[in-house]
């Protein structure tokens, strides 16, 4: 589907009946072609984890139920799901009657799987459960206070430099910002990088992260670009990149890409 047909940036009426047709898929292929993955293969495992904080439906007795959800869209899916369409779709469940949480999960998984082109997972959580948000995850080194002067806010993969010293490190920056390719609105996030290989020069990495500040792209594409640029420029033997974006419209997204098949820890950060 063409992006000009997406609901982003347009006035939208919230549906009062179930409307799976609102889900708007966006092909991943254009971005992957742009970063050099044209043959349908890519050097990562991963998924896009959505945290949805405004889930509601009706019980058989007419009393509303509320929950929050984690939605997992595989990185191998041919499509991402545009965020506003996901919000509108989830709100279309508000007046639907479901006999159980399992039925809600099944409906959401089926609809999102159809839109993305791959099996999507859904987990519901009680709003009564305690949730802990953290800042910098334990064991990560913050690079945001490096002594560096930055004068350009454009993409600069050439700033990524790795030395000869072999290390395993966990690095964090809260300065990731890009802009929505449709509305131009800012997307704020924190990026976590775990790698084994030549030691990455901190000032260059900070310049690189800040270089996204005026770029327009979807969250998922930004993470794939970061992963590809680090692999190309620094050639680590192992690499995991995750981005934890701030909430908008009751949703936040947390894409991760890795050379390792097992998912990394994906904590909820304080800005989420």
Place of tokens 């290390």: 167
Selecting among 187, 217, 229, 252, the annotated active-site residue is 187
Neighbours of 177 (CB within 10 A): 19
Whose CA is closest to 234, among 202, 191, 189? 202
Give the 3-state secondary structure of residue 34.
helix
Catalytic annotation present for 217? no
Selecting among 180, 222, 229, 234, the annotated active-site residue is 180
Catalytic annotation present for 187? yes
Cα torsion for 150, 151, 154, 155, to the nearest 10°? -40
Half-sphere exposure of 202 (CA within 13 A, CB side): 13
Strands of the sheet with 64-74, listed across from one edge: 121-125, 64-74, 45-58, 251-258, 238-245, 186-200, 162-179, 141-142
Place of tokens 């039925």: 103
Residues marked as catalytic: 180, 187
């Amino acid at each position: 589907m063409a992006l000009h047909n997406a609901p982003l940036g347009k006035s939208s009426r919230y549906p009062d009946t179930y409307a799976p047709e609102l889900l708007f898929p966006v092909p991943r292929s254009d971005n992957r072609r742009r970063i050099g993955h044209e043959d349908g293969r890519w050097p990562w495992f991963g998924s896009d984890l959505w945290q949805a904080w405004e889930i509601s439906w009706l019980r058989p007795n007419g009393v509303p139920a509320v929950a929050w959800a984690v939605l997992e869209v595989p990185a191998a899916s041919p499509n991402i799901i545009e965020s506003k369409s996901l919000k509108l779709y989830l709100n279309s469940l508000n007046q639907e009657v479901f006999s159980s949480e399992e039925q809600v999960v099944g409906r959401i998984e089926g609809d999102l799987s159809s839109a993305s082109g791959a099996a999507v997972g859904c987990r519901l959580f009680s709003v009564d459960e305690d949730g802990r948000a953290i800042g910098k995850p334990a064991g990560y080194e913050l690079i945001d206070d490096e002594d560096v002067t930055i004068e350009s806010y454009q993409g600069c993969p050439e700033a990524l430099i790795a030395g000869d010293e072999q290390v395993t490190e966990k690095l964090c920056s809260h300065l990731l910002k890009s802009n929505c390719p449709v509305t131009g609105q800012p997307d704020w996030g924190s990026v976590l990088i775990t790698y084994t290989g030549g030691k990455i020069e901190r000032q260059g990495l900070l310049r690189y992260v800040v270089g996204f500040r005026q770029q327009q792209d979807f969250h998922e594409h930004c993470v794939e670009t970061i992963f590809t640029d680090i692999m190309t420029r620094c050639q680590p033997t192992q690499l995991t990149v995750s981005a934890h974006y701030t909430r908008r419209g009751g949703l936040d997204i947390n894409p991760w890409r890795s050379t390792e098949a097992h998912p990394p820890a994906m904590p909820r950060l304080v800005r989420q």
